Amino acid sequence: MALGATEKEITVFVAEIIAGKSQREAYRIARPLSRKWKDKSVDDRASALFNKVEVQHRYAEMLAKATAAVEKTCVMTFAEKRRILMNIAMDPAERKENVIKAIDLDNKMEGVYVNRTELTGAGGGAVEFVWAGESE
């Protein structure tokens, strides 16, 4: 096994990464004794484990299964939605406002637009941050 990890540890490690955990968190869950280690030690080992060929194969396999499971629960996949929008946008008989809406929605799905949020403090002044445990 890669870096002394068992098949079960690799499966848990990969499953946690696919679930959204960091490599550090996934490694500590998969190999509980590492909870006592320094972060740098865990990070180094987690990175080395993740970069092993057999772990990459397991990751690809499990990610494909997870993606397929999610797609089964979707009414339409992302690709299907984009294909419909493309057909609307490319149809010369379609009304101009529908073409613009289709292009706009496709751009939103692609993340083309940047959403900005501005924060201000009391009375429009600067925002003040206080870290937990600190007094003002």
Q: 104-124 pLDDT, tens per residue? A: 998 888 888 887 887 887 888
Alpha carbon distance 49, 4 (integer Å)? 9
Concatenating the DSSP letter of every residue in the chain gives -GGG--HHHHHHHHHHHHTT--HHHHHHHHSGGGGGS-HHHHHHHHHHHHTSHHHHHHHHHHHHHHHHHHHHHSSS-HHHHHHHHHHHHH-TTS-HHHHHHHHHHHHHHHT-S--------GGG-------TT---
Give residue 59's pLDDT band: very low, low, confident or very high (50, 70, 90): very high
Q: Percent of the chain at pLDDT above 90?
A: 58
1 near 58, Cβ under 8 Å? no
In angstroms, the Cα distances linking 111 to 53, 65, 86, 115 are: 32, 25, 16, 9
Q: What does the pLDDT average to over 91-115? A: 89
The pLDDT of residue 1: 44
Would the pTM count as exceeding 0.85? no
Q: 11-37 pLDDT, tens per residue? A: 999 999 999 999 999 999 999 999 999
Question: Domain coordinates of the chain in residue numbers?
Answer: 2-73, 78-110
